[in-house]
C-alpha cells in the first residue's frame, strides 16, 4: 500500500514547439512516496529540496491526488512525501514532475484504472494550481516518456514521437527564478502568417528528423521565432550560451520551457559533455550560480 516513484524533469517547447512539444530526461527528476491511509483526504507529510506548500489544495501533487481520489470514489486517503531534486521556477517542469508523479502513483494504487491520456488530464489540473494554465507539454512528456507532441489540447491528443538513441540533452540552469506565469505574458498572443509558416515548418522538420534519426535535420529545425525572441531577455547570457553550445558541436539549443534553463541537443554523449563544458564556461565568468546536467531522453 505504498509506492515510490521517480518523476522526471522535462524540457517543454523544444524550440519551435511552443506548448506543443516536450521530452523527458532520464536522470533528473523528483522522488515521491505515496502511502495509503485509512482516513480519507490527502496529507503532505514531507517536502525536501524546495519550499512548497504543505496545504494539499495548494500543493500540485496534493491537488492532483485529491482530484483522482474523488473521481474514482476511492475508499482510502493518501500520505505524500516529496523529495525535489531540482528547483521550482527552473523551466525544467518542476510542477509537472509533481503533478505527473502524483497522477502516475495514484493510478498504481487504484490498480491502473486510468489510461495515460486521462492521467495527463489530471496532471494538467496540477499545472493550473502551479501557474494558472492547463499546459500539457511538460506533464505529457513526464507521463508518456521520450518525446511527445500535443497534437490538440481540446480534445486532448498526445502523440509519442520516437527518440534517436544517440540524441543527448545538455541543460544549464542558472539559479534565477522565472515564474511560468510571467514568462507566458511576454509571448505574443498573435503572430503574422510568415512567422507561423516558418514555425510549423520547423515543427514538421523536427518531428521528421526524430523519426528518421536525421540529426542534421533535427538541428536545422531547432528554431523558435515565437517564444525565444521575446523570452530570451529574461535569461542573462542566453545568446552567449546558445552560441557556445552550437560552436562546441550541439545540433541546436533553446530555452527549456519557460526558462531560465537552457537546453542543447547533441549527437552522442561526448559532444553533449563538450557542450556542457562550453556553456558552463559562459556562466563561470559571471557571478550567477548554475547547475548543469547531461541526460539521455527517455
Ligand atoms: N509550454 C510552456 C511554456 C511550458 O513555455 O510556457 C511551461 O510550463
Q: Is 96 one of the annotated binding-site residues?
A: yes
Residue 107: predicted pLDDT: 98
How do residues 251-289 score in pLDDT, each as one tens digit? 999 999 999 999 999 999 999 999 999 999 999 999 999
Any atom of ligand 1 within 6 Å of the Cβ of 224: no
Q: Is 281 one of the annotated binding-site residues?
A: no
Give the distance (Å) from ligand 1 centre to CA of residue 195.
19
Residue 46: predicted pLDDT: 98
How do residues 164-202 score in pLDDT, each as one tens digit? 999 999 999 999 989 988 999 999 999 999 999 999 999
Query: At residue 95, does pLDDT exceed 90?
Result: yes
Whose CA is closest to atom 4 on ligand 1?
Answer: 257
Residue 239 grid coordinates: 545568446
Query: At residue 91, does pLDDT exceed 90?
Result: yes
Measured CA to CA, the distance from residue 80 to residue 167 in angstroms comes to 34
Any atom of ligand 1 within 6 Å of the Cβ of 271: no
Residue 9, φ and ψ in degrees, nearest 5 = -70, 155
**Closest atom of ligand 1 relative to the 227 alpha carbon:** 5
Q: Is residue 65 classed exposed, middle or buried when 0-12, 13-18 and 19+ CB atoms within 10 A define those classes?
A: buried
Any atom of ligand 1 within 6 Å of the Cβ of 140: no
Assess whether 180 carries a catalytic annotation: yes
Residue 152 grid coordinates: 490538440
Residue 72 pairs with which residues in a beta bridge? Answer: none
Q: Which of 127, 228, 267, 276 is catalytic?
A: 127
Give the distance (Å) from ligand 1 centre to CA of residue 108.
27
Query: At residue 112, does pLDDT exceed 90?
Result: no
Q: Is 93 one of the annotated binding-site residues?
A: yes
Identify which of 67, 77, 69, 2 has the alpha carbon closest to the alpha carbon of residue 42.
77
Q: Which of 10, 120, 180, 271 is catalytic?
A: 180
Any atom of ligand 1 within 6 Å of the Cβ of 19: yes
Amino acid at each position: 500500500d505504498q509506492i515510490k516513484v521517480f518523476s522526471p524533469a522535462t524540457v517543454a517547447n523544444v524550440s519551435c514547439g511552443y506548448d506543443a512539444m516536450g521530452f523527458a530526461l532520464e536522470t533528473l527528476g523528483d522522488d515521491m512516496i505515496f502511502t495509503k491511509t485509512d482516513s480519507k483526504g490527502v496529507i503532505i507529510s514531507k517536502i525536501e529540496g524546495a519550499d512548497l506548500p504543505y496545504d494539499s489544495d495548494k500543493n500540485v501533487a496534493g491537488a492532483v491526488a485529491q482530484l483522482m481520489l474523488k473521481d474514482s470514489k476511492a475508499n482510502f486517503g493518501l500520505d505524500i512525501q516529496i523529495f525535489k531534486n531540482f528547483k521550482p521556477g527552473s523551466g525544467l517542469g518542476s510542477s509537472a514532475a509533481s503533478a505527473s508523479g502524483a497522477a502516475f502513483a495514484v493510478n498504481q494504487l487504484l490498480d491502473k484504472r486510468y489510461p495515460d491520456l486521462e492521467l495527463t488530464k489530471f496532471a494538467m489540473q496540477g499545472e493550473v494550481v502551479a501557474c494558472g494554465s492547463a499546459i500539457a507539454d511538460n506533464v505529457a512528456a513526464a507521463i508518456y516518456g521520450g518525446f511527445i507532441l500535443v497534437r490538440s489540447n481540446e480534445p486532448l491528443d498526445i502523440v509519442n514521437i520516437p527518440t534517436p538513441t544517440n540524441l543527448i540533452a545538455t541543460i544549464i540552469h542558472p539559479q534565477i527564478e522565472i515564474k511560468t506565469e510571467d514568462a507566458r505574458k511576454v509571448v505574443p498572443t498573435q503572430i503574422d502568417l510568415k512567422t507561423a509558416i516558418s514555425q510549423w515548418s520547423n515543427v514538421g522538420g523536427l518531428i521528421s528528423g526524430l523519426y528518421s534519426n536525421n540529426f542534421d535535420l533535427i538541428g536545422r529545425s531547432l528554431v523558435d521565432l515565437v517564444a525565444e525572441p521575446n523570452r530570451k531577455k529574461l535569461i542573462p547570457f542566453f545568446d552567449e550560451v546558445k552560441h557556445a553550445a552550437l560552436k562546441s558541436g550541439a545540433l541546436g539549443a533553446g530555452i527549456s520551457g519557460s526558462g531560465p534553463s537552457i537546453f542543447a541537443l547533441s549527437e552522442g554523449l561526448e559532444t553533449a559533455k563538450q557542450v556542457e563544458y562550453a556553456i558552463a564556461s559562459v556562466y563561470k565568468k559571471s557571478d550567477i550560480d548554475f547547475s548543469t546536467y547531461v541526460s539521455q531522453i527517455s
